[in-house]
């Protein structure tokens, strides 16, 4: 069971806007930055959003991130077929174990 | 460009150890941490720990403490992750990723190394 909670699946049609949620606690999302990763089938994960809402160069502005309290969200607007992938949220956790924690991942299907 | 290239697939017997390498290029190896993350088939991402290539300091996830060792050779810009006392549940793809201290920032990732534990 993952420390950060994500819905296991999400879907949308081309052009739609979809959001993926990520719920945590005061020791992780509540006190640290949230990061989002995209994993296309058969490939390594790729950084999609850093420090809650920043996009690395090369990531389309269709992707956006937000954080409020102990929850975060990833929004994808103008959905495209190539967005079909697994998406993971992650954050540092300040608890005794001092770990990086991931969400369980959300499989996005473009219908 | 910044790149991490990992060693090839491994097949190990239960109880054995495996050592995976991760060669960095395109940046100053000692300026960023190297993290290790693994992913069992069809499962999510699991963080294993970090290593600072400059100091050699490490931090391991509680689950792996006592079984994992992260080291480096700065002369060839290469990081290593050794996992001992392997069991079938350790069968997974192991990724290295460039990171920063106390953050979940990983960029880029290596291509992954499949480790299969089977008798």
**Are the C-beta atoms of residues A12 and A19 closer than 8 Å to each other?**
no
Please indicate if any CB of chain A lies within 8 Å of the CB of B3: no
| Six token digits for residue B46 | 């699991």
Chain A residue numbers touching B112 (CB-CB < 8 A): 44
- The rounded distance, in Å, linking the Cα atoms of B37 and A34 is 17
B37-52: pLDDT as tens digits: 999 999 999 999 999 9
**A32: pLDDT confidence band, cut at 50, 70 and 90?**
very high
Which region, left, alpha or beta, applies to residue B10 given φ > 0 means left and ψ of -120 to 50 means alpha?
A: beta
pLDDT at B64: 96
pLDDT at A98: 76
Least CA distance to A44: which residue of chain B? B111
Q: Of B61, B103, B109, which is closest to A45 when you measure between CB atoms?
A: B109
Residue B119 predicted with pLDDT over 80: yes
Alpha-carbon Rg for chain A in angstroms:
13
pLDDT > 70 fraction of chain B, expressed in percent and rounded: 100
User: SS3 of B87, please?
Assistant: coil
Q: Chain B: nearest CA to A78, how far in angstroms?
A: 25
* Among B80, B95, B4, B85, CA closest to A100: B95
pLDDT at B113: 98
Count CA atoms within 13 Å of residue B25 on its CB side.
Answer: 5
**Are the C-beta atoms of residues B2 and B14 closer than 8 Å to each other?**
no
Residue A51 predicted with pLDDT over 90: yes
- How far from the centroid of its chain's Cα atoms is residue B94's Cα? 6
Helix, strand, coil percentages in chain A from 3-state DSSP, rounded to 5: 5, 50, 50
Give the number of beta-carbon pairs within 8 Å between A and B.
66
Residue B116 predicted with pLDDT over 80: yes
pLDDT at A96: 77
Q: Chain A: nearest CA to B20, how far in angstroms?
A: 16
Q: Chain A: nearest CA to B44, how far in angstroms?
A: 5
**Tokens 């929850």 sit on residue:** A71
pLDDT at B102: 83
Chain A residue numbers touching B106 (CB-CB < 8 A): 35, 37, 45, 47, 90
Q: Chain A: nearest CA to B97, how far in angstroms?
A: 10
User: SS3 of A19, please?
Assistant: strand
Give me the mean pLDDT over the B88-115 stretch: 96
pLDDT > 70 fraction of chain A, expressed in percent and rounded: 100
Least CA distance to B61: which residue of chain A? A99
**Tokens 């300040």 sit on residue:** A94
A80-103: pLDDT as tens digits: 999 999 999 999 999 877 799 999
- The rounded distance, in Å, linking the Cα atoms of A77 and A97 is 36
């Amino acid at each position: 069971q993952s420390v950060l909670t994500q819905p296991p699946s999400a879907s949308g049609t081309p052009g739609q806007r979809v959001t993926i949620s990520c719920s945590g606690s005061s020791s992780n999302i509540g006190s640290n930055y949230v990061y989002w990763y995209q994993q296309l089938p058969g490939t390594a994960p790729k950084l999609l959003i850093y420090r809650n809402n920043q996009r690395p160069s090369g990531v389309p502005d269709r992707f956006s991130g937000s954080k409020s309290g102990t929850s975060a969200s990833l929004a994808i607007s103008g959905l495209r077929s190539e967005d079909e992938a697994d998406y993971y949220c992650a954050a540092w956790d300040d608890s005794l174990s001092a770990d990086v924690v991931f969400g369980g991942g959300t499989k996005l299907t473009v219908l | 460009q910044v790149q991490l290239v990992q060693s090839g697939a491994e097949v190990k017997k239960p109880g054995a150890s495996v050592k995976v390498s991760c060669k960095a290029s395109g940046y100053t190896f000692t300026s960023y941490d190297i993290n290790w993350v693994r992913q069992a088939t069809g499962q999510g991402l699991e963080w294993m720990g970090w290593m600072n290539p400059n100091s050699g300091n490490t931090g391991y996830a509680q689950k792996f403490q006592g079984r994992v060792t992260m080291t480096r050779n700065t002369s060839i810009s290469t990081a290593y992750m050794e996992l001992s006392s392997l069991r079938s549940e350790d069968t997974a793809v192991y990724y290295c990723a460039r990171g920063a201290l106390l953050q979940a920032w990983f960029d880029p990732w290596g291509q992954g190394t499949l480790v299969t534990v089977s008798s």
